[in-house]
Amino acid sequence: MNVNAAIETDPREATRRTPDSSTAKTEAAVQRLRQRLGGGIGSGGRFEHRDLFIQAGKGAHVTDLDGNSYIDYMLAFGPLILGHAPDSLMRAINSSLATGTMFGAACEAELLLSEEVVSVLPCAERVRFTNSGSEAVHAAIRLARAATGRTKVLKFEGHFHGWLDNIYLSVKPLGPQGLSNAPWTARMAAGQPASVVEDVVVATWNDPKGFTDLMSSYGHDIACIILEPYPTNNGCMEAAAGFLELTRQLATQNGSILIFDEVVSGFRLALGGAQQVYGVIPDLCVFGKAFAGGLPIAGFAGNLDLMRLLDGNQVTHLGTYNSNALCAAGALAILRELKEGNGMVLDRIRDLGLLLKDGFNRVFAESGVAMCAEGPGSVITVFAAPTPPTTYRETLSHNARLLAKLHRALLTRGIWAFARGNFMVSAAHNEGDILETIAVMSSIVASGEIQR
Ligand SMILES: Cc1ncc(COP(=O)(O)O)c(C=O)c1O
């Protein structure tokens, strides 16, 4: 086996995987990897597609080691907003590499990127860059605690804010979760200290009364309220009318900092993220993923009063690789392309996603299968239930077995989506990809194989 062999086939022209395709080389490479790489996967989130071994990606397509191609709706968990290896990003990376990779000091790409981010994110007067969304969340919480002199964080059940100890809580835990209108703060990982639960209060999404009651009880101890303004991690579950506004209002009334985690929604729902779409402006926001089109750079941004606390290291935020020249240059290229034509690229992505959603819903309705698709377009979610959920707890009662079978059936037919039902769309997808995906969904549902 030679996993380093030159890529023989352009992923856009390779043959789509079918249930009969050979995956022998892939299986051998995966076995070899398991001998050396912890858990056989590079991140716990890759568990459901641990038997994939990708050779190359171009546009909206990837090929595995056996030369089978897939239409990619994972987009590496969301970052690849312009698809794989877009020309603008490749050019920016190559030209940046000619002058080095990182300097541990200010550079032109950092300056230009800061200016661009502040110009597009409504809440941003200043920005700081990190290497991942998790780090950016951590920094934003620290800033909020420093600004308020308080410790407690209020988060919503089911919302995901990265894997770090202080906030990886109550996102589909294996153990008990408490009542739906009074959720417990539940730890997610072995090794997480028991003490972390003391600092985090968990509220129910889209429950104005429960949230208001919690703020009445704890409000003056709450340093920050953090939320995904458009939650995608447990389904596309839009905030109920007035709910985001309520978070803004109660944060202000109680002197708590409102943090929007826009790691997924930022630069995807709209250039200015969900805060632009809904017109609710947080004090701080966190972003990543689509912002850099596939390079490891994320960040947090906010109003001057808060971000000024970084002046003179009153609040420290460190990181050897922060806004390194290579990643900053790549993110700048992505941002500039997204900005072209007043965000036309994102409109096109949304329209393609809506086409996919409508097509899926037509297939489900015609076949009578208890499934539906929901979402704003640039990301949609297929639910194993006849209607989309409005609360996180509803998603727990969905037919998980059906969804798992669908994920597998799609994968073996060359359609790579999130195991939890999300489909992310990029600028590199085209109508042909969408229609092919709908046709595959139709044939899977018609065969009855996932319903059995
Ligand atoms: C909403 C949200 N916040 C934070 C994170 C953590 O980002 P990262 O994986 O870059 O650490 C994620 C990752 O999926 C996310 O979806």
Residues 313 and 373 in one domain: no
Highest mean pLDDT among 215-219, 342-346, 432-436: 432-436
Residue type, 307: M
Residues 426 and 413 in one domain: yes
Tell which of 309, 338, 367 closes a domain.
Answer: 338
**CA of residue 366 to ligand 1 center, whole Å:** 36
Give the residue ranges of DSSP H helices in 298-424: 304-307, 325-367, 392-396, 400-411
Distance CA 137, CA 130 (A): 10
In a domain, 3, yes or no: no
Residues 375 and 436 in one domain: yes
pLDDT at residue 3 is higher than 50: no
Residues 32 and 119 in one domain: no
The residues, ordered by sequence, that sit 6+ positions from 108 with a Cβ below 8 Å of its Cβ are 325
The DSSP 8-state label assigned to residue 65 in this structure reads T
Residues 277 and 190 in one domain: yes
Please give the backbone phi and psi of residue 437, each rounded to the nearest 5 degrees, phi first.
-65, -40
Q: What is the pLDDT of residues 163-202, one digit of tens each?
A: 999 999 999 888 889 999 999 999 999 999 999 999 999 9
pLDDT at residue 147 is higher than 80: yes
Total residue count of the chain as it appears in this document:
452
295: CATH: 3.40.640.10
pLDDT of residue 294: 96
Long-range CB contacts (within 8 A, 24+) of 188-197: 189/163, 192/165, 192/168, 193/165, 196/165, 196/166, 196/169, 197/169
Residue type, 150: R
pLDDT of residue 13: 76
Strands 284-287 and 257-262: parallel
In a domain, 356, yes or no: yes
**CA of residue 452 to ligand 1 center, whole Å:** 34
Residues 292 and 203 in one domain: yes
- Say if residues 169 and 155 touch (Cβ distance below 8 Å): yes
Instruction: Please choose, from the candidates 227, 218, 205, 222, the residue with its C-alpha nearest in 3D space to the C-alpha of residue 284.
Output: 227
The DSSP 8-state label assigned to residue 259 in this structure reads E
Residues 352 and 334 in one domain: no
Residue type, 252: T
Q: What is the pLDDT of residues 99-139, one digit of tens each?
A: 999 999 999 999 999 999 999 999 999 999 999 999 999 99
Residue type, 259: I
In a domain, 7, yes or no: no
Residues 319 and 227 in one domain: yes
Residues 92 and 30 in one domain: no
State the helix-helix crossing angle for 325-367 and 431-447, rounded to 10 degrees.
Answer: 40
User: Ligand 1: does its nearest atom lie under 6 Å from the Cβ of 328?
Assistant: no
Count structural domains, the chain. 2
pLDDT at residue 1 is higher than 60: no
User: Ligand 1: does its nearest atom lie under 6 Å from the Cβ of 261?
Assistant: yes
**CA of residue 263 to ligand 1 center, whole Å:** 6
Atom 6, ligand 1: which residue's CA is nearest? 162
User: Ligand 1: does its nearest atom lie under 6 Å from the Cβ of 263?
Assistant: yes
Residues 291 and 147 in one domain: yes
pLDDT at residue 89 is higher than 80: yes
Atom of ligand 1 nearest to the CA of 78: 14
Q: What is the pLDDT of residues 236-259, one digit of tens each?
A: 889 999 999 999 999 999 999 999
Out of 77, 264, 285, 381, mutate this one to test ligand 1's pocket (max ligand atoms within 8 Å of CB): namely 264
Task: Return the percentage of the chain with pLDDT > 90, whole number.
Answer: 91
pLDDT of residue 451: 86
Tell which of 290, 320, 338 closes a domain.
Answer: 338
User: Ligand 1: does its nearest atom lie under 6 Å from the Cβ of 418?
Assistant: no
**CA of residue 19 to ligand 1 center, whole Å:** 32
Residues 290 and 247 in one domain: yes
Residue 173 burial (10 A CB sphere; 0-12, 13-18, 19+): middle
Output the pTM of the full model.
0.96
**CA of residue 226 to ligand 1 center, whole Å:** 13
**CA of residue 334 to ligand 1 center, whole Å:** 19
Domain that residue 419 falls in: 15-85+343-447
Out of 74, 75, 134, mutate this one to test ligand 1's pocket (max ligand atoms within 8 Å of CB): namely 134
**CA of residue 289 to ligand 1 center, whole Å:** 8
In a domain, 96, yes or no: yes
In a domain, 5, yes or no: no
Distance CA 205, CA 211 (A): 8
User: Ligand 1: does its nearest atom lie under 6 Å from the Cβ of 262?
Assistant: no
Residue type, 227: L
Q: Between residues 35 and 2, which one has the greater pLDDT?
A: 35
Which tokens sit at 381? 């979610």
Segment 194-219 mean pLDDT: 96
pLDDT of residue 8: 56
pLDDT band at 228 (very low <50, low <70, confident <90, very high): very high
User: Ligand 1: does its nearest atom lie under 6 Å from the Cβ of 132?
Assistant: yes
How many angstroms separate the Cα of 257 from the Cα of each of 138, 142, 254, 340, 362? 14, 11, 9, 33, 43
Q: What is the pLDDT of residues 404-444, one digit of tens each?
A: 999 999 999 999 999 999 999 999 999 999 999 999 999 99
The DSSP 8-state label assigned to residue 10 in this structure reads -
pLDDT at residue 24 is higher than 60: yes
pLDDT of residue 342: 83
pLDDT of residue 7: 52
41: CATH: 3.90.1150.10
- Say if residues 300 and 226 touch (Cβ distance below 8 Å): no
Tell which of 323, 338, 353 closes a domain.
Answer: 338
In a domain, 10, yes or no: no
**Sequence-ordered strand ranges (E) for 210-316:** 222-227, 257-262, 284-287, 298-302
**CA of residue 68 to ligand 1 center, whole Å:** 29
In a domain, 434, yes or no: yes
In a domain, 452, yes or no: no
Distance CA 76, CA 54 (A): 11
Of 1-15, 205-219, 339-353, which range is least confident? 1-15
Mark residue 39 as left, alpha or beta (left: phi above 0; alpha: psi -120 to 50; beta: remaining): left
Residue with tokens 């030209």: 95
Atom of ligand 1 nearest to the CA of 45: 14
Please give the backbone phi and psi of residue 202, each rounded to the nearest 5 degrees, phi first.
-110, 130
What is the distance between the terminal CA atoms of the chain, rounded to a whole angstrom? Answer: 38
Residues 62 and 105 in one domain: no
Atom 13, ligand 1: which residue's CA is nearest? 162
User: Ligand 1: does its nearest atom lie under 6 Å from the Cβ of 161?
Assistant: yes
Segment 203-217 mean pLDDT: 96
**CA of residue 23 to ligand 1 center, whole Å:** 31
Per-chain mean pLDDT for the chain: 95
User: Ligand 1: does its nearest atom lie under 6 Å from the Cβ of 133?
Assistant: yes
